[in-house]
Amino acid sequence: MALTPSTPPTPSDGAPAPASVSVAAPPPRPAPAAPPLPTQAEISREIAARHTAAERDRAAGTPAPDHPARDFTPYRSSTARHPRHPPVEIDHLADPEAVELGGPVFGVTDVTDLDADLTRQHTGEPLGERITVTGRVLDRTGRPVRGQLVEIWQANAAGRYAHRRDRHPAPLDPHFTGVGRCLTDAAGRYAFTTVKPGAYPWRNHHNAWRPAHIHFSLFGSAFTQRLITQMYFPGDPLFPYDPILASVTDPTARARLVATYDHELTVPERSLGYRWDVVLDGPSATWIEEGR
Ligand SMILES: O=C(O)c1ccc(O)c(O)c1
């Protein structure tokens, strides 16, 4: 009969042998409960307080500097996502490679007409309300900004982005990517054909929904000049609830982010027309969220 050792055998060098008994893994620890999301009422109270303070500063002639505050707490992630150090000055002469930051990185021949028609980028047509969005890119004196690369991205008509990180359980549209670009013409005009994006939920707070919007990027003439903003649709009932739009604390500047429905732009039997100008600078500037 084989002898069963009461202790595990030791290797010849005398070191203890690794335990041969398998030890049951401890039960997985439950994930810590996520803190409850703030309620809409809490977020709306914070927004109202920020708007009241901004109104007071405007009345006192000391308005906050241009563009949304980086720490607009009702837009919760805004507080964690911006640089905390002042920008680093780059001396172009001392660093020859830095000069590349000032050079254009695309050529006009890269952009084709198809890029501006988001309804024709696949074999079939996307679902949704077809729209034309057009307007001008202007400088602070109202002069057109020509040859400007304008890029857009947006959710589909059901409120879903064709992006792997979008988890909203609304249908993807196999005929819609939601990305477009064009160059402004001699009058500073851009134009896109697309479908009206749907509203979608995001987890900023309980029952948070973004109003329908299209993201815009204006490239400038160099990578370091890029400006990013969002265009909204008139009459959206979600405006009062949205902390991203509310981060623009001046109501007139907020209104400038909303396109105008224009029946002259509406194409019979085809698409509804919206007009939206982008002003790069000055007192009527379109507020931007990035690029400062
Ligand atoms: O910053 C964000 O988290 C965020 C979420 C949803 C949006 O529609 C958006 O434009 C930004």
Q: Which of 233, 236, 244 to mutate to test the pocket of ligand 1 (most atoms within 8 A of CB)?
A: 244
The label of the residue with tokens 């002898």 reads: 3
pTM for the complete prediction? 0.85
Q: What confidence tens digit (pLDDT) does each residue in 214-224 have?
A: 999 998 877 77
Q: Is residue 134 part of a domain?
A: yes
| CATH code of residue 74 | 2.60.130.10
Do 183 and 151 touch, CB atoms closer than 8 A?
no
Residue with the larger pLDDT of the pair 80 and 157 = 157
Overall average pLDDT of the 227-232 stretch: 96
Do 184 and 219 touch, CB atoms closer than 8 A?
no
Q: Is residue 73 part of a domain?
A: yes
pLDDT of residue 15: 46
Distance of CA 213 from the midpoint of ligand 1 (Å): 11
77 lines ligand 1 (CB under 6 A): yes
Do 197 and 142 touch, CB atoms closer than 8 A?
no
Q: Is residue 85 part of a domain?
A: no
Q: Is 66 helix (H, G, I), strand (E, B) or coil?
A: coil
Q: Is residue 150 part of a domain?
A: yes
Q: Is residue 186 part of a domain?
A: yes
Residue with the larger pLDDT of the pair 237 and 9 = 237
User: Catalytic: 261?
Assistant: no
User: Catalytic: 175?
Assistant: no
- Cα(238)–Cα(232) distance, integer angstroms: 11
Q: Which of 202, 209, 236, 241 to mutate to test the pocket of ligand 1 (most atoms within 8 A of CB)?
A: 202
pLDDT of residue 107: 66
Atom of ligand 1 nearest to the CA of 204: 3
For residue 229, the number of C-alpha atoms closer than 13 Å in the C-beta half-sphere is 27
DSSP secondary-structure letter at 58?
H
* Domain encompassing residue 263: 43-52+67-78+102-164+171-279
Distance of CA 224 from the midpoint of ligand 1 (Å): 22
CB atoms within 10 A of CB 232: 23
Q: Is the pLDDT of residue 54 over 60?
A: yes
The total domain count for the chain is 1
Q: Is residue 30 part of a domain?
A: no
Q: Is residue 227 part of a domain?
A: yes
User: Catalytic: 200?
Assistant: yes
Overall average pLDDT of the 235-250 stretch: 97
Overall average pLDDT of the 147-154 stretch: 95
Binned at pLDDT 50, 70 and 90, residue 10 comes out as very low
